[in-house]
C-alpha cells in the first residue's frame, strides 16, 4: 500500500510538473510570438547600377528620387571627385572624370539620361537633394554657404599637387560652431539661397529664391541651404527642409513658386538664433534640418539631424510629437533621411543614419524600432555616409552615400518574413530584443 501511495504521489507530482512546464512553455511561446512579427527583408544588389560610360565616376552622392515611371534619379557633387579620380579631365590619363550632376537610371540600372550645370541661371555651390514631381519636373536644392569654385577636376581645382588623392574639403570659417562647417550667422551672405526647377531633359524652368539673397528665417522670398524637396500628396505644395542656413520647414507653391507658410521646431516661429547642437529638447531645429517627408495620411516627418530627433507635424505645421533616436550620437547626428514602405498604409518607415551607418526600420504607427541593417564599411550592403534614400513602387530601397562613400545602392525587397529569421541569421540588428 505504501508503494502505491508513493507511486500515486509521484504520478501526481509528475503531472503537476508537466502542467506547470506546459504553462511556462506556453508563456515563452507567447513572448517569442509577440516579438516574431512580419517585417520586410532586403538584400543589396551589388550590380546596380551598371557601370557608367565615358570613364565617369561619382562624387559625394547627395540625392536620390524615383519618378512616376519607376526610374531612379541620382544627384552627386562632381567637385568632390579627387585629383587621382579626375586625371582624364586634365588629359593626364585615360581615367577618370566626374559624371554630370544629374543622372537617370531605369530599374535595371541602365543610364537613361544625364545633365548638369548650364549657363544662364544660378547653380548650387553644394547641390543637395533631388526630387521629381508628378508632372516630371526635377527639383534641386543646395546647401553651400560660399561662392562657386573652379570647374570640377580642373587644374584650377588641383594646382599644387596633381597626384593628391584627397578631394577638397570645406574649411570652416573662423568662429564656426557647426559640425558641418557652416555657422548659422545671418550677417553673412549665403550663396545657395534657392531651389531650382528643371524639365526631365535639364531645361531650366524656374527658381525659388536667388543666389546670395536670403535674409534669414523670416524670409518669404528665399530659402537658405535647402537640403531636400518633397511634395504633399495630392497637392502642388512643395516642402523644403530649410535647412543648413535656416532652422525651418518652408512650404511653397510648386507652380507659382510663391511662399505659402513655414514652421520651426514644435511648430514655433523659426528663429535665427544659434543654439548648441546634440540637444533633443532644443526649442528650435539645429544644423541641419535635413529632411521633411510627408506621409499619405497627413503627417510630415522632419529630420533634425544634430539634435538626434525626428519631429512629427500635421500638413499645416501643427506639432504632434517627437522621437529621439540614438541620442548619444555626435558628428553629423542620427536621422539623415526618411522613406516609407510602398503599402497603402506606409506601415514601415526607413530612417537613414549617416553617423551610425545604418538603415533603421520602424513601425510607423508606434514609432518603435524593429531592426536595423547595414553597418559601416565599403562592401555591398554596408554604408559610409549614408545620406539620402527613397523607395520605389516595388518596395525596393535606394540609398546615396556622401563623403568618401560616393555611390548609390539598391536594396531589393525580398518579401515579408518573421523578424526572428533575420535576427537568428545575423542579417540585421535590434538592440531592444532581449531587454
Report mean pLDDT in 10-residue bins for the chain, 435 residues: 46 44 38 70 98 98 98 98 96 97 98 96 97 98 95 91 52 43 59 98 98 97 98 98 97 98 98 93 95 98 98 98 97 97 98 98 97 96 98 98 97 97 87 46
Interacting residues of 28 by C-beta distance below 8 A, sequence separation 6+: none
Tracing cell 506621409 back to the chain, one arrives at: 295
The predicted structure's pLDDT at residue 410? 98
Instruction: Provide Rg for the chain, Cα atoms.
Output: 25
Nearest to 214 by CA among 199, 226, 231, 204: 226
Angstrom distance (rounded) from CA 63 to CA 52: 18
Alpha carbon separation from 360 to 96, 336, 434 (Å, rounded)? 35, 11, 18
Q: What is the pLDDT of residue 172?
A: 46
* CA angle 50–106–386, rounded 5-degree value: 70
Alpha-carbon gap, residue 362 to 357, rounded angstroms: 16
Cβ neighbors of 242 (< 8 A, separation 6 or more) are 223, 224, 225, 226, 227, 248, 249, 250, 262, 289
**Edge-to-edge strand ranges of the sheet holding 309-314:** 289-294, 299-304, 309-314, 319-324
- State the pTM of this model: 0.87
- What pLDDT sits at residue 425? 86
Residue 431: which residues within 8 A CB-CB, separation 6 or more? none
Relative to beta strand 204-209, strand 194-198 is antiparallel
Q: Which three cell numbers stand for residue 118?
A: 548650364
Q: Are 299 and 327 a contacting pair, CB within 8 Å?
A: no
d(CA 236, CA 271): 26
Closest by Cα among 192, 186, 162, 24 to 89: 162
Q: State the Cα–Cα distance between residues 112 and 134, nearest whole angstrom.
A: 19
Residue 407: per-residue pLDDT: 98
Are the C-beta atoms of 42 and 412 separated by less than 8 Å? yes
Amino acid at each position: 500500500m505504501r508503494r502505491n501511495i508513493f507511486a500515486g504521489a509521484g504520478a501526481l507530482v509528475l503531472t503537476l510538473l508537466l502542467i506547470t512546464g506546459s504553462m511556462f512553455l506556453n508563456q515563452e511561446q507567447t513572448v517569442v510570438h509577440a516579438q516574431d512579427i512580419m517585417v520586410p527583408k532586403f538584400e543589396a544588389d551589388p550590380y546596380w547600377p551598371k557601370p557608367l560610360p565615358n570613364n565617369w565616376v561619382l562624387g559625394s552622392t547627395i540625392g536620390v528620387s524615383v519618378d512616376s515611371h519607376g526610374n531612379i534619379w541620382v544627384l552627386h557633387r562632381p567637385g568632390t571627385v579627387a585629383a587621382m579620380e579626375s586625371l582624364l579631365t586634365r588629359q593626364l590619363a585615360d581615367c577618370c572624370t566626374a559624371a554630370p550632376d544629374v543622372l537617370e537610371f531605369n530599374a535595371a540600372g541602365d543610364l537613361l539620361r544625364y545633365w548638369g550645370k548650364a549657363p544662364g541661371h544660378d547653380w548650387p555651390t553644394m547641390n543637395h537633394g533631388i526630387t521629381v514631381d508628378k508632372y516630371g519636373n526635377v527639383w534641386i536644392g543646395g546647401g553651400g554657404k560660399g561662392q562657386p569654385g573652379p570647374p570640377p577636376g580642373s587644374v584650377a581645382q588641383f594646382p599644387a599637387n596633381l597626384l593628391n588623392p584627397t578631394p577638397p574639403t570645406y574649411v570652416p570659417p573662423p568662429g564656426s560652431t557647426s559640425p558641418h562647417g557652416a555657422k548659422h550667422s545671418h550677417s553673412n551672405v549665403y550663396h545657395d539661397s534657392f531651389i531650382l526647377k528643371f524639365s526631365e531633359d535639364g531645361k531650366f524652368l524656374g527658381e525659388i529664391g536667388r543666389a546670395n539673397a536670403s535674409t534669414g528665417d523670416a524670409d518669404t522670398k528665399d530659402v537658405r541651404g535647402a537640403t531636400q524637396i518633397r511634395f504633399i500628396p495630392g497637392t502642388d505644395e512643395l516642402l523644403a527642409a530649410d535647412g543648413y542656413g535656416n532652422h525651418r520647414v518652408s512650404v511653397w507653391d510648386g507652380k507659382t513658386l510663391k511662399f505659402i507658410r513655414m514652421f520651426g521646431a514644435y511648430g514655433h516661429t523659426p528663429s535665427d538664433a544659434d543654439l548648441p547642437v546634440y540637444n533633443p529638447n532644443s526649442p528650435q531645429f539645429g544644423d541641419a534640418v535635413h529632411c521633411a517627408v510627408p506621409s499619405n495620411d497627413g503627417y510630415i516627418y522632419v529630420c533634425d539631424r544634430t539634435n538626434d530627433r525626428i519631429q512629427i507635424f500635421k500638413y499645416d505645421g501643427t506639432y504632434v510629437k517627437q522621437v529621439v533616436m540614438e541620442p548619444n550620437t555626435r558628428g553629423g547626428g542620427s536621422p539623415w533621411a526618411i522613406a516609407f514602405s510602398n503599402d497603402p498604409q506606409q506601415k514601415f518607415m526607413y530612417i537613414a543614419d549617416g553617423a551610425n551607418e545604418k538603415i533603421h526600420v520602424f513601425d510607423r504607427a508606434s514609432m518603435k524600432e524593429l531592426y536595423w541593417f547595414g553597418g559601416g564599411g565599403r562592401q555591398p550592403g554596408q554604408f559610409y555616409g549614408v545620406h539620402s534614400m527613397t523607395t520605389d513602387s516595388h518596395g525596393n530601397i535606394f540609398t546615396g552615400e556622401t563623403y568618401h562613400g560616393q555611390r548609390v545602392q539598391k536594396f531589393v525587397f525580398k518579401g515579408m518574413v518573421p523578424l526572428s529569421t533575420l535576427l537568428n541569421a545575423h542579417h540585421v540588428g535590434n538592440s531592444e530584443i532581449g531587454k
